[in-house]
Amino acid sequence: MSGASSEADNSVVLSALQHVVFCERQAALIHVERVWQDNASTAEGNLLHGNADLPGNEKRRNVEVARAVLLRCDALGISGRADVVEYHMDPTVPGGKQPYPVEYKRGKVKNELADKVQLCAQAFCLEEMHGMAVPRGALFYGQSHRRVDVEFDTALRERTKTAIKRMRELIETNMVPPAEPAPKCRSCSLEPLCLPNVTNRRTNASEYLVQLMHREDKL
Ligand code: SF4
């Protein structure tokens, strides 16, 4: 799933929240400037998502599994799709089924907080859609086949709301923050387009042009 906000209703897409926590510049390049650069990591992620993206439902013992579930939360202005929502049979909750979102991620953990924020936003959607609390979910990391249980506690909920607000600000103001070069840039699919070492706020315009020409000479 890509794109900034839904053209129809102006909601912020769930995937943008993961990006804005990882790097605001990356989020703005993808969701404001509409730039996308595939690399091995995102290609691997797409393959992993391929399995989870097939729509459908199945039942396993006390769990119903729904795939590629469309989500939205009007109160917070977010929408998107969950890879998987499990419905755990539980007679103590309304309707007898407890929603439990599961987000699939490629093997190497790039930023677990960013992944948790995206998952928590899915929980906000499920809470509004089902009218019930969704206290937990899980992240599934493909390479390690590791499933991490995530509690949607107060701190994570607040961090998620902050990410939603910031992403909306970037979209509404068409703002692309300057680069802040950091180790995370090495795993960023947009590094060749972002040029973090020449577009950071400490580089003035003439330095930027000189460095850009130097880089193009090498290509
Ligand atoms: S290369 Fe670094 S600064 Fe640029 S978008 Fe990626 S993470 Fe952000």
User: What is the DSSP annotation of 195-211?
Assistant: -HHHHBTTS-HHHHHHH
Residue 121 structural domain: 12-174
Is the CB of residue 176 below 6 angstroms from any atom belonging to ligand 1?
A: no
Confidence at residue 145, expressed as pLDDT on a 0 to 100 scale: 85
The answer to whether residue 50 scores a pLDDT higher than 60 is: no
Residues 132 and 204 in one domain: no
Residues 105 and 37 in one domain: yes
Per-residue pLDDT, averaged over 164-187, amounts to 93
Beta-carbon count within 10 A of 56 CB: 8
Contact criterion met (CB below 8 Å) for 96 and 113: no
CA distances from 190 to 26, 37, 194 (A): 7, 6, 6
The answer to whether residue 73 scores a pLDDT higher than 70 is: yes
Contact criterion met (CB below 8 Å) for 52 and 83: yes
Whole-number Å distance, alpha carbon 195 to ligand 1 midpoint, is: 8
Q: How many CA atoms lie within 13 A of 38 on its CB side?
A: 7
Is the CB of residue 23 below 6 angstroms from any atom belonging to ligand 1?
A: yes
Contact criterion met (CB below 8 Å) for 159 and 20: no
Contact criterion met (CB below 8 Å) for 138 and 151: no
83 domain-assigned = yes
Q: What is the tally of structural domains in the chain?
A: 2
Whole-number Å distance, alpha carbon 190 to ligand 1 midpoint, is: 6
More confident site: 214 or 119 = 119
Which residue of 111, 191, 193, 203 sits with most ligand 1 atoms within 8 Å of its CB, as the best mutation to test the pocket? 191
Which residue of 19, 35, 184 sits with most ligand 1 atoms within 8 Å of its CB, as the best mutation to test the pocket? 184
1 domain-assigned = no
Q: Is 172 helix (H, G, I), strand (E, B) or coil?
A: helix
Residues 166 and 58 in one domain: yes
Confidence at residue 187, expressed as pLDDT on a 0 to 100 scale: 87
79 domain-assigned = yes
45 domain-assigned = yes
Strand partners, 84: 67, 102
CA-nearest residue, atom 3 of ligand 1: 179
Q: Which long-range contacts (CB under 8 A, 24 or more apart) does 146-149 make?
A: 147/102, 148/112
Residues 206 and 166 in one domain: no
Residues 50 and 91 in one domain: yes
6 domain-assigned = no
Residues 89 and 191 in one domain: no
Cα-Cα-Cα-Cα dihedral sign, residues 157, 158, 161, 166: negative
Instruction: Indicate which CATH number applies to the domain containing 65.
Output: 3.90.320.10
Per-residue pLDDT, averaged over 37-42, amounts to 58
Instruction: Dump pLDDT digits (tens) for 93-113.
Output: 989 999 999 999 876 676 789
53 domain-assigned = yes
Tell me the percentage of the chain whose pLDDT exceeds 70: 77
CA-nearest residue, atom 7 of ligand 1: 185
Is the CB of residue 185 below 6 angstroms from any atom belonging to ligand 1?
A: yes
Predicted TM-score (pTM) of the model is 0.83
Whole-number Å distance, alpha carbon 166 to ligand 1 midpoint, is: 17
Atom of ligand 1 nearest to the CA of 180: 3
**Closest by CA position to 132, among listed 104, 110, 152, 105:** 152
pLDDT band per the 50, 70, 90 thresholds, residue 57:
confident
